[in-house]
Amino acid sequence: MSGEEEIGPWEAASAPASTAPTAAQSAPQSASRAVTCPNCGGTVEIRAAGYTVSVACQYCGSMLDVANPDVALIERQNLATADLAIPLGSRGHVKGAEYQMVGYVRRSIEGEGWDEYLLFNPYVGYRWLVHDEDGWSFGTMLTSLPQMSGGSANYAGVHFSHDGDTWDAVVDRVVGEFYWRVQVGDHALLANYEGSSATLSCETVADEVSWTVSEPIGRGEMRGFGKSEAGATDGANNTGQSAFASGPSGDIAAAPDGPLARAWFYSKIGAAALAAMIVVMILFASGGNSAQGFSYRLTMDGPETTVNFGPLEFTGASQRVTIATASPGLDNAWVDTDITLVNRATQEVISTYGVVEHYSGYDSDGSWTEGSDSGSTKVASVPAGSYDLVIDASAHSWPSPSYGGRVIDVTTDVSSGGVFFSNLVLALLLLIIPPIFLLWRGLKGRGGSSSSSGDNDWGDDE
């Protein structure tokens, strides 16, 4: 080309940065350049100048082609970029390097969509953060080809198998800048290959094939990316750490994503609730009315005896009543009790029963024992009042009735208060249902269609 080269809508560049090899490092080059939108005249910032081919004007939404020095208008489209999980231009740290989010596409397969965030670092290149219903994953384009055999791909010594489906993905939304031409409505054929801890994505557009490897990551592995870069970077500092866009652990600290990470998160909440309940249980153990004890005697294998004790005062509006029966030294016999609490005022009856049994003997394995010489029955929701305790009791010898009228001593202790342990078990089971369900879904989701978080990555939620 002869004559003065028209610089066009690119801002006047400084003299081409060719320095003599021995020259000292000149002042750091600016990281971005501006382009004038041919549609609205707005100034559009290009962060990956030289690589970027398409950029969406943030003012009028037009898609601009900047592959050539002349900026060509491709298409108008909707704005609304403020709703992105990672704001355009924000910086963050992931997988050991800092990146800036420079482009966003939303794509979908048969209506089910996901977000793709294009990250850029001039020294590292491009990476992807993909967000779908299973959570986040980190993608890198392959620079060498996987080895194909049948329905499988081999890459970096890892085996990836094809799930059998090829999907038509369509671009629904575009924000920011990209190193290839992309606009809303573009189609691509996707095929996914699952490996043990990563996924290979094979994307075909008009015979051209590109491969990406993606691994699931937890939200805790992404730091920053929370605010737009305006005012958040220290431009002069390029020797040390670049300023991050937000504070430690970033704004992504809210509830983690992906069924497995959620399951873990919920388990922690559930465990906290359970701990509180155990504390309550301990506190209540000491409350209530203290025990009152009664004794009576039973004739072994004799007729059923009825004993009547009272009044028993239960002061709480409603309480648990424990009736503990014991016969010290009981052996090879059982004591049957029908227990009735009768409210003196209302004559309301609460019936229950208790069995105390103990057996022992010798066999080929040695001596054995079974049961205990004491036992207790717990009654729930006993209303306040004065009660009579009526016990119909009988004692029986095992294995066969005895003769001789041996008499045994039985004591009964009645106390109120305390918490049913079975309630705690029930609470635990109920609390554990959602985490178990999510765990099942997360493990099942490995064969998902678009992308999956596959293996568990228990992201930290900070």
Hey, which residues between 197 and 226 contact another protein (CB under 8 A)?
207-209
Indicate which single residue of 72, 355, 380, 407 sits in contact with another protein (rule: CB under 8 A): 380
- Does position 2 interact with another protein (CB under 8 A)? The reply is yes
Residue 443 host element (H or E): helix 421-444
Binding segment (CB under 8 A) for another protein, from list 36-44, 194-202, 360-368, 378-386: 378-386
Question: Which of 385, 308, 316 shows the shortest CA–CA distance to 347?
Answer: 385
- Does position 323 interact with another protein (CB under 8 A)? The reply is no
Indicate which single residue of 150, 286, 317, 400 sits in contact with another protein (rule: CB under 8 A): 317
- Does position 28 interact with another protein (CB under 8 A)? The reply is yes
Note whether 383 and 328 are within 8 A (CB): no
Rounded distance between C-alpha atoms, residue 352 and residue 338, angstroms: 6
Question: Which of 216, 110, 255, 221 shows the shortest CA–CA distance to 452?
Answer: 216
Judged by beta carbon, residue 31 or residue 408, the one nearer another protein is 31
What x-and-dash track marks residues 233-252 binding another protein by CB under 8 A?
xxxx-xxxxx----------
Q: How far is the CB of 104 from another protein (least distance, A)?
A: 17
Binding segment (CB under 8 A) for another protein, from list 166-174, 183-191, 277-285, 449-457: 277-285
Question: Which of 175, 172, 79, 86 shows the shortest CA–CA distance to 129?
Answer: 86
Judged by beta carbon, residue 408 or residue 432, the one nearer another protein is 432
Judged by beta carbon, residue 23 or residue 82, the one nearer another protein is 23
Judged by beta carbon, residue 236 or residue 367, the one nearer another protein is 236
What x-and-dash track marks residues 167-196 binding another protein by CB under 8 A?
------------xxx---------------
- Does position 68 interact with another protein (CB under 8 A)? The reply is yes
Binding segment (CB under 8 A) for another protein, from list 79-87, 265-273, 325-333, 445-453: 265-273
Q: How far is the CB of 26 from another protein (least distance, A)?
A: 8
Rounded distance between C-alpha atoms, residue 306 and residue 308, angstroms: 7
Indicate which single residue of 108, 352, 394, 402 sits in contact with another protein (rule: CB under 8 A): 352
Write the DSSP assignment of 214-281 as a string of letters: EEEE-GGGEEE--S-STTT--TT--SSPPPPSSSTT-GGGSS--SHHHHHHHHHHHHHHHHHHHHHHH
Q: How far is the CB of 299 from another protein (least distance, A)?
A: 21
Judged by beta carbon, residue 60 or residue 428, the one nearer another protein is 428
What phi, psi does 390 have (nearest 5°)? Answer: -110, 120
Judged by beta carbon, residue 235 or residue 361, the one nearer another protein is 235
Q: How far is the CB of 5 from another protein (least distance, A)?
A: 5
Rounded distance between C-alpha atoms, residue 107 and residue 117, angstroms: 11
CA distances from 16 to 2, 13, 29, 156 (A): 18, 7, 11, 40
What x-and-dash track marks residues 393-422 binding another protein by CB under 8 A?
-----------------------xxxxx-x
- Does position 72 interact with another protein (CB under 8 A)? The reply is no
Output the CA torsion sign for 169, 173, 177, 183.
Answer: positive
The neighbouring-strand residues paired with 97 are 94
Q: How far is the CB of 254 from another protein (least distance, A)?
A: 6
Window 42 to 61, contacts with another protein (CB under 8 A): 47-51, 53
- Does position 13 interact with another protein (CB under 8 A)? The reply is yes
Judged by beta carbon, residue 112 or residue 348, the one nearer another protein is 348
Indicate which single residue of 43, 166, 197, 308 sits in contact with another protein (rule: CB under 8 A): 308
- Does position 305 interact with another protein (CB under 8 A)? The reply is no
Sorted by sequence, the CB contacts under 8 Å of residue 48 that are 6+ apart come out as: 102, 120, 122, 126, 177, 179
Binding segment (CB under 8 A) for another protein, from list 114-122, 220-228, 401-409, 452-460: 114-122
Q: How far is the CB of 265 from another protein (least distance, A)?
A: 7
Sorted by sequence, the CB contacts under 8 Å of residue 265 that are 6+ apart come out as: 255, 256, 461
Residue 437 host element (H or E): helix 421-444
Indicate which single residue of 55, 175, 321, 335 sits in contact with another protein (rule: CB under 8 A): 321
Write the DSSP assignment of 31-54 as a string of letters: S-EEEE-TTT--EEEESSTTT--E
Size of the site for another protein (CB under 8 A): 117
**355-361 contact pairs (CB < 8 A, 24+):** 356/325, 356/326, 356/327, 356/330, 356/410, 357/330, 357/333, 357/398, 358/330, 358/331, 358/332, 358/333, 358/334, 359/331, 359/332, 359/398, 360/331, 360/332, 361/332
Note whether 369 and 354 are within 8 A (CB): no
Q: How far is the CB of 202 from another protein (least distance, A)?
A: 12
Helix axes 421-444, 259-285, angle to 10 degrees: 170
- Does position 150 interact with another protein (CB under 8 A)? The reply is no
- Does position 124 interact with another protein (CB under 8 A)? The reply is yes
